Amino acid sequence: MRQVCFYFQVHQPHRLRRFRVFDIGRGRTYFDDAANREIVGRVAAKCYLPANRTLLELIRRSNGRFRVAMSLSGTLLDQLETDAPEALASFQELVATGAVELLGETYYHSLAGLADEREFAEQVRLHRAALQRHFGVRATVFRNTELIFSDAVAPLVARLGFRGALVEGAPGVLGWRSPDHVYHADAAPDLRLLPRNFRLSDDVAFRFSNRSWSKWPLTAETYAQWVAAGDGASAHIFMDYETFGEHQWEETGIFEFLRHLPRALALHGVEPVTPSDLVAQSSVGGLRFPHPVSWADESRDVSAWLGNALQRAAHERLYRLGPAIRSCHDHELLERWRRLTTSDHCYYMATKEYGDGEVHQYFSHFDTPYDAYIAFMNAVQDLEQVVTADRALAWEAGIDNQLVGVSAR
Amino acid sequence: MRVLMFGWEFPPYQAGGLATATSGLVKGLLRNGVDVTLVVPFQVEDAGIPGLRLRSTVGAKGRWKRIRVPSPVQAYHTVEQYALQWEETKRGTGGRGNPYGANLFEEIERFAEIAEDIAAEEPHDVIDCHDWITYPAARRAAAVSGRPLVAHLHATERDRSGDGANPEIQRREREGVLAAHRIICNSRMMKRQVVAEYGAVPGRVAVVPWGIDEQVAKADLEVPRPFGDDAPVVLFLGRVTRQKGPEFFVEVARRVADVEPETRFLMVGTGDLLPRIIERTVALGLAERVHFAGGLSGPDVDRAFRMATVCVMPSVSEPFGLVALESLRSGTPCILPRESGVAEVVRHALRADFWDVEQMADQVVGVLRHRVLHRELQRRGAAEVRSPRFSLDEPARGTARVYREAMNVSTGGG
């Protein structure tokens, strides 16, 4: 392959605390601010700061020829701003080099694209404003939450002005075709699609430190060779940014790997590009997504978030509250509700077995998926009650105003 | 392979889970081609297990003359509780079918005396025993036959009695554990404990989690609805002793009743804390909400599980916790003690620290309020305990493996 596109997802949710049934109606916070602060601080120290430093050094050394893409969720930006400003500054420094492209997404890293078109558009606009404010840039390529994409989502993304989107290179979508080309969405022909090469991506994201893997230990040289050996035009390698230092610890040699990668790629004649470079190219064909596809779990669908009855019940209850929340015109309530739309809350409720189950449990701060469900439902119940009380007040206020109007006449 | 096994409880002579565990193990071993001779200290009746050779030490001529009297002592009792209950027994108000002697230590000694004779008569390749109460008998038997000794440790004295542990029992526990070629614990937690407290060599301690009988109670079991059809029932099932944390259950009941006032609470079991627990429920204004069923057995236990919406186990110490498997098998979601053997092996159940009343109450209310949560826990929990992992065969095969290891080391293999 002549070109390679690296993209890193950078995201942290506002984790719920164990919001108990006894907390309902008492004006208590849903989120575990202390734990969230602790986690963001830890991940910043172990991953964001050292990885950003490494990337910055690589970009400078290559005079900007080493290029990557990132997306930073709004919930992460919020937390960096208050709890790890030095990490936010280092992201800003990276973006300022011009070699790091930022992608658009929903501010709250939510499943709104599957549930609520209006909310989806709203959250994408909020994220756009945040990129403008923190980085002074505008994203032209979109990456929906965890690469969730479908024929229904495609036109929404196109309508919001994006020229391309990142998608999972799922065998069910590609069939016999290679993920290593630029495609377009059949449901939105102007929208270019970059399918993820999950084999090359997972070699780093999941297998890098696995000692029982036949290719362990993986060197940058070997990896560059694999990338170069591909038949397609461009390899799209997408993963969590937390791969560097958090999922794969520093001791595994992941930073060394990253440090040697640009030179190894250059030796094999592979050019790093960004998504906006690629979406300017022509499409080799159209892709259809009759069912939603994502990069999560073995099944690469949305079952990581909506796979069991608990998750669906929680998701449906939350989005049912949407119209009422918006009609309150209360910024703080809306913000609370939107933080609950973050997909991670549903992810923690997954009850899958074996490999997938272990990955879910690794990310979850709850003991069991059932505890995640209980805390979430308690919080939604509280929010429902607040909204009902708020509307009752508003209604009474409305009556009062009318009475005033009548008597004044 | 022939095993000579020393047990102290066996259905219907039982005070707690030890009898269920022993009978499950025996059934599993027989099914997996291990011949079992079980020696017990009570009158042998038909155990209803084909192929099992049962031997009783009752009526056997020990060299030690004694008179058998009804006794209140159970494997789980401290000597102090024993003294209290002995008074009851003398007054004729004690429990039924009790396999224990008037003086526990004398009884154990007598059991051990006769064990020597049995060991000389019964052909066997390996000796197994269950908890401290049978250790002296097994050691004496091993000394006679020269066969390797395996010791099951289901619970330690500290588990049963906490800070009130009897040092004499602990001494016997330690001696038995250290004398055995192999020790079998039913959880990793228990293994850590026996290594830390008694200095057992980790390589000699095997972990074999328990399974349960696949035979589920009949589907047409008539389940009484004494509280009316709609009232949800929260269940505590276990001995009403310090170890099982009944006082935490009552506090949970109070918190749950605060937000779900229709809820009923059912306490099944007896024990020395029962009077205090009853007083506490009255003091908390729960007299009409908490129901005491006393000790139940057989199909009544299944009925209790079927009646319940959720089962709570606030055990202070729970080396394994068979009740959880029985509950899940009956389709009753369960809240497990976080520190327990069963919490190491069961995924589809809630768990909480025994002292965390708020959390348990929150979980109970969650299960009562959310039908979908109850259904998921019920469905997945039942499916999980029906897997071969929790059958009687899996623990039996694990145990037989340990027997073979013990036989290898004792014949100079290492």
pLDDT (tens digit per residue) in B178-221:
999 999 999 999 999 999 999 999 999 999 998 888 766 566 67
**What is the overall mean pLDDT for chain B?**
87
Amino acid making up residue B33? G
- High-pLDDT (> 70) share of chain A, %: 97
Which among A21, A370, A377 has the least Cβ separation from residue B377?
A370
Which among B259, B349, B351 has the least Cβ separation from residue A21?
B259
Lowest pLDDT segment from A224-228, A320-324, B103-107, B188-192: B103-107
* Stretch A13-34: mean pLDDT: 96
- Enumerate the residues of chain B whose CB falls inside 8 A of the CB of residue A368: 347, 349-351
Residue with tokens 């038949």: A231
Residue with tokens 């950078």: A10
Q: What is d(CA A130, CA A136) in angstroms, rounded to the nearest whole number? A: 9
**pLDDT at site A390:** 82
Name the token pair of A18.
Answer: 């164990």
Q: Which of A79, A63, A57, A92 is nearest to A12 (CA)?
A: A79
CB of B259 less than 8 A from some CB of A: yes
**For residue B98, what pLDDT band results from cuts at 50, 70 and 90?**
very low
pLDDT (tens digit per residue) in A239-259:
999 999 999 999 999 999 999
pLDDT (tens digit per residue) in B68-97:
334 444 555 555 555 555 444 444 433 433
* Stretch A397-402: mean pLDDT: 64
Which among B259, B359, B376 has the least Cβ separation from residue A351?
B376
| Cis preceding linkage at B12, omega within 30 | yes
Which among A308, A357, A371 has the least Cβ separation from residue B350?
A371
CB of A216 less than 8 A from some CB of B: no
Query: Is the model's pLDDT at A384 over the cut of 60?
Result: yes
A142 contacts A104 by C-beta, under 8 angstroms: yes
B130 contacts B152 by C-beta, under 8 angstroms: yes
Smallest CA–CA distance, residue B330 to chain A, in Å, is 19
pLDDT (tens digit per residue) in B9-51:
887 776 667 888 888 999 999 999 999 999 998 877 777 788 8
**In this complex, do B349 and A368 lie within 8 Å of one another by their Cβ atoms?**
yes
CB of A370 less than 8 A from some CB of B: yes
| Cis preceding linkage at A292, omega within 30 | no
**pLDDT at site A25:** 94
The three-point CA angle B36-B39-B40 to 5° equals 135
Residue A33 vs residues A14, A38, A39: alpha-carbon distances, Å: 8, 8, 10
**Whole-model pTM?**
0.87
Query: Is the model's pLDDT at B392 over the cut of 70?
Result: yes
**pLDDT at site B84:** 52
User: Which of B56 and A294 is assigned the larger pLDDT?
Assistant: A294
- Enumerate the residues of chain A whose CB falls inside 8 A of the CB of residue B351: 367-368
Q: Which of B158, B154, B179 is nearest to B167 (CA)?
A: B158
Q: Which of A194, A135, A206 is nearest to A168 (CA)?
A: A194
Q: Which of A189, A185, A163 is nearest to A289 (CA)?
A: A185
**pLDDT at site B218:** 64
**pLDDT at site A353:** 78
Q: What is d(CA A12, CA A398) in angstroms, rounded to the nearest whole number? A: 41
Q: What is d(CA B170, CA B187) in angstroms, rounded to the nearest whole number? A: 20
- What 3-state class would DSSP assign to B393? helix
Name the token pair of B230.
Answer: 């709609």
**In this complex, do B348 and A373 lie within 8 Å of one another by their Cβ atoms?**
no
**pLDDT at site B138:** 97
Q: What is d(CA A402, CA B397) in angstroms, rounded to the nearest whole number? A: 80
- Enumerate the residues of chain B whose CB falls inside 8 A of the CB of residue A367: 338, 350-351
Note the residue count of chain A: 409
CB contacts < 8 A, A to B, total 60
Q: What is d(CA A192, CA A195) in angstroms, rounded to the nearest whole number? A: 10
- Enumerate the residues of chain B whose CB falls inside 8 A of the CB of residue A309: 372, 375-376
- Enumerate the residues of chain A whose CB falls inside 8 A of the CB of residue B361: 20-22
**For residue B107, what pLDDT band results from cuts at 50, 70 and 90?**
confident
Query: Is the model's pLDDT at A358 over the cut of 70?
Result: yes
Query: Is the model's pLDDT at A402 over the cut of 70?
Result: no
* Stretch B290-314: mean pLDDT: 92
Amino acid making up residue B396? A
Q: Which of A165, A160, A227, A166 is nearest to A199 (CA)?
A: A227
Amino acid making up residue B316? V
**In this complex, do B376 and A308 lie within 8 Å of one another by their Cβ atoms?**
yes
**In this complex, do B362 and A20 lie within 8 Å of one another by their Cβ atoms?**
yes
Smallest CA–CA distance, residue B233 to chain A, in Å, is 18
- What 3-state class would DSSP assign to B55? strand
- Enumerate the residues of chain B whose CB falls inside 8 A of the CB of residue A20: 358-359, 361-362
CB of B252 less than 8 A from some CB of A: no
Residue A161 vs residues A73, A130, A277: alpha-carbon distances, Å: 19, 17, 17
**In this complex, do A374 and B361 lie within 8 Å of one another by their Cβ atoms?**
no
- Widest CA span in chain B: 66
Helix spans in B60-216 (H):
79-90, 104-121, 135-145, 157-161, 167-179, 188-198
Q: What is d(CA B333, CA A388) in angstroms, rounded to the nearest whole number? A: 33
Q: Which of B147, B76, B136, B150 is nearest to B315 (CA)?
A: B76
Name the token pair of B358.
Answer: 């708020």
Which among B258, B370, B380 has the least Cβ separation from residue A377?
B370
* Stretch B155-177: mean pLDDT: 90
- High-pLDDT (> 90) share of chain B, %: 67
- High-pLDDT (> 90) share of chain A, %: 90
Mind spelling out the 3-state secondary structure of A182-224?
CEEECCEEEEEEEECCHHHHHHHHCCCCCCCCCCCCCCHHHHH
CB of B379 less than 8 A from some CB of A: no
User: Which of B91 and A306 is assigned the larger pLDDT?
Assistant: A306
Smallest CA–CA distance, residue A20 to chain B, in Å, is 6
Which among B366, B373, B376 has the least Cβ separation from residue A21?
B366
State the catalytic residues of A. Answer: 146
CB of B261 less than 8 A from some CB of A: no
Residue A282 vs residues A102, A191, B235: alpha-carbon distances, Å: 22, 11, 66
**In this complex, do B376 and A370 lie within 8 Å of one another by their Cβ atoms?**
yes
* Stretch A298-304: mean pLDDT: 94
Smallest CA–CA distance, residue B204 to chain A, in Å, is 28
Query: Is the model's pLDDT at A226 over the cut of 60?
Result: yes
Residues contacting A407, CB < 8 A, separation 6+: none
* Stretch A162-181: mean pLDDT: 97
**In this complex, do A373 and B373 lie within 8 Å of one another by their Cβ atoms?**
yes
- Enumerate the residues of chain A whose CB falls inside 8 A of the CB of residue B369: 21, 377
Smallest CA–CA distance, residue A350 to chain B, in Å, is 11
Query: Is the model's pLDDT at B130 over the cut of 60?
Result: yes
Smallest CA–CA distance, residue B302 to chain A, in Å, is 25
Lowest pLDDT segment from B69-78, B362-371, B380-389: B69-78
Q: Which of A360, A354, A365 is nearest to A304 (CA)?
A: A360
Q: Which of A175, A151, A148 is nearest to A301 (CA)?
A: A148
